[in-house]
Amino acid sequence: MLEFINNHLIFSIIILLNIIGSLISLFLYASDKRKAINNSWRIKEKTLLLSTLLFGAVGSFIGIFILRHKTRHWYFVLTAIVSLIIQALLLYFTFNLSL
């Protein structure tokens, strides 16, 4: 097991960053949705978009399409899709380099 982790250290780090980033991003989208319903202070759009770009594509994708938050803003949908593609390609290439 330790040998596998040593051989795939960069891949493992990127997976971990994706998991943490996605959880943070999903939390931000869910929190902003709750604040929108309660007419409370909102999370800045820049913060939501940045969380999408910084390894949070999966969480943002869930926040946009499952929680149905920010679906009317085309740039949120586009950012989530492009970030998801980029992060998937990053995982693919780092996995193939570690073989």
Query: pLDDT tens digits for 44-84?
Result: 999 999 999 999 999 999 999 999 999 999 999 999 999 99
Report the alpha-carbon distance of residue 43 to residue 26 in Å, rounded: 13
Q: Is residue 7 part of a domain?
A: no
Q: Is residue 44 part of a domain?
A: yes
Q: Is residue 91 part of a domain?
A: yes
CA atoms within 13 A on the CB side of 47: 11
Q: Is the distance from CB of 19 to CB of 99 less than 8 angstroms?
A: no
Q: Is residue 9 part of a domain?
A: no
Domain count within the chain: 1
Q: Is residue 17 part of a domain?
A: no
Which range of residues forms the domain containing residue 52?
23-98
Q: Is residue 32 part of a domain?
A: yes
Q: What is the pLDDT of residues 22-40, one digit of tens each?
A: 999 999 999 999 999 999 9
Q: Is residue 1 part of a domain?
A: no
